[in-house]
A and B are shown apart, each in its own frame.
Chain A
């Protein structure tokens, strides 16, 4: 059986809480490791006896072996996964889907725009780009979160401030006293970010409306729609385009996505109940 059909056993090696309801799990293979994941691809994670959910890879993706996934507890399966402890065994199928087209950003500005948990699927892109900074003109990272307490990878983002060739902007929707950073929607960060819309590639991940407004904002600034990549999610089940649960118009997102060019996705985002 292949890794796309039967879950491979992985042991939780480490568990790092990111926020009150979000955790990063470091998984080590018990048996044969799964093939190497590309940034933006996802795995089906199984909490045995509870169920299976699609979760994007959120760590380095250059070699097979350990996997890193950041997930938020929102339902029974993700709550079970969130509650897993070092030593627990999970099931993993994958890798699935089309990831981010990072080579398209070579010799251009790379603009990453994340909202909420959407930073997790973009993190492998960021880590890859940071490891080869000469390949890109400027790496722009724009992050929106609900509150300062909901920011993912806060220390990693902070460590990027002042790094040559990297620009980081962070905003929150609301904050109580004590937060001295930006307050407002993530699209407002585009105004000050140092990139040339005519010669940049954007990768956007977050709630669908956030991605839509961000993509529209980028297009208004002159970025061609086919150079904006977004990550879509529907009800992924089989992961290989057989069951049809994740259909979005002509796309089966587990196979044709989750990363899709905005030129293809724009009309699908405003279509009611396909």
Chain B
């Protein structure tokens, strides 16, 4: 487990990283392993160190559609932060993926008891969420599509 090197936790005092680490363990996810399914209890999150994970959703008539892929040094899962603590999307390892898995209920308890740690962690999740929101908005614009009003 190389939590101290993960960019998501960059700048976090070592003592706080150690406290988080008490509720985490390393995992290796096999290719095509379903990490979680939409609607299931969001009781974990992961800091990916190596590999790729696909976020997906079931679409009637189209089957499983991949929405986004997450690569090394990213964070997977934030539905555990907010009630009802259910996954909005599913996740599957696309290749052998090495990550640190955190036990979310214990982390929630830890954050509630220690506002300093709570602030430190949520302020790291916020930019991730903002980045992905912006990315989703950009994709909604369908920038690469042919212009609706034809030019020249």
List CB contacts (< 8 Å) of A183-234 with chain B: 183-185, 187-188, 191-192, 206-207, 209-210, 213
- Which of B22-30, B63-71, B82-90, B104-112 is the contact stretch? B63-71
Give Cα A175–Cα B65 distance, bound, in whole angstroms: 8
How many A-B contacts are there with CB distance less than 8 Å? 76
The smallest C-beta distance from A176 to any residue of chain B, in angstroms, reads 7
**B116 located at the interface, meaning its Cβ lies under 8 Å from any Cβ of chain A in the complex:** no
Which of chain A's residues have a CB closer than 8 A to the CB of B145?
146
Q: Is the CB of B152 within 8 A of A173?
A: no
Give Cα A194–Cα B68 distance, bound, in whole angstroms: 21
Nearest B residue to A21 by beta-carbon distance? B146
Q: Say which residue of A21, A72, A184 sits within 8 Å of B68 (CB atoms).
A: A184
Q: Say which residue of A53, A176, A180, A209 sits within 8 Å of B152 (CB atoms).
A: A53
Q: Is the CB of B152 within 8 A of A192?
A: no
Which of chain B's residues have a CB closer than 8 A to the CB of A207?
143-144
Nearest B residue to A53 by beta-carbon distance? B152
Tell me the interface secondary structure of chain B in the complex.
Answer: loop
- Which of A56-64, A73-81, A153-161 is the contact stretch? A73-81
**A15 located at the interface, meaning its Cβ lies under 8 Å from any Cβ of chain B in the complex:** no
Q: Say which residue of B52, B65, B146 sits within 8 Å of A176 (CB atoms).
A: B65
**A241 located at the interface, meaning its Cβ lies under 8 Å from any Cβ of chain B in the complex:** no
Give Cα A191–Cα B131 distance, bound, in whole angstroms: 12
- Which of B12-20, B38-46, B118-126, B133-141 is the contact stretch? B133-141
**A137 located at the interface, meaning its Cβ lies under 8 Å from any Cβ of chain B in the complex:** no
The smallest C-beta distance from B140 to any residue of chain A, in angstroms, reads 10
Q: Is the CB of B146 within 8 A of A188?
A: no
Which of chain A's residues have a CB closer than 8 A to the CB of B67?
183
Q: A116-B143, A177-B64 are in contact. Are A74 and B151 (CB under 8 A)?
A: yes
Nearest A residue to B151 by beta-carbon distance? A75
Nearest A residue to B146 by beta-carbon distance? A74
Which of chain A's residues have a CB closer than 8 A to the CB of B68?
183-184
Q: Is the CB of A191 within 8 A of B71?
A: yes
Q: Say which residue of B65, B69, B150 sits within 8 Å of A184 (CB atoms).
A: B69
**A145 located at the interface, meaning its Cβ lies under 8 Å from any Cβ of chain B in the complex:** yes
Q: Is the CB of B73 within 8 A of A191?
A: yes
The smallest C-beta distance from A202 to any residue of chain B, in angstroms, reads 18
B contact set with A: CB distance below 8 Å: 52, 54, 62-69, 71-74, 94, 134-135, 138-139, 141-147, 150-152
A-B contact pairs, 9 of them (CB 8 A): A72-B146, A115-B143, A173-B139, A174-B65, A176-B65, A188-B71, A192-B72, A192-B73, A209-B141
Known: A75-B150, A174-B65. 17 other contacts (CB 8 A): A78-B152, A146-B142, A173-B142, A173-B144, A174-B139, A179-B66, A181-B69, A182-B69, A183-B68, A184-B135, A184-B139, A191-B73, A191-B74, A192-B73, A206-B144, A210-B138, A213-B138
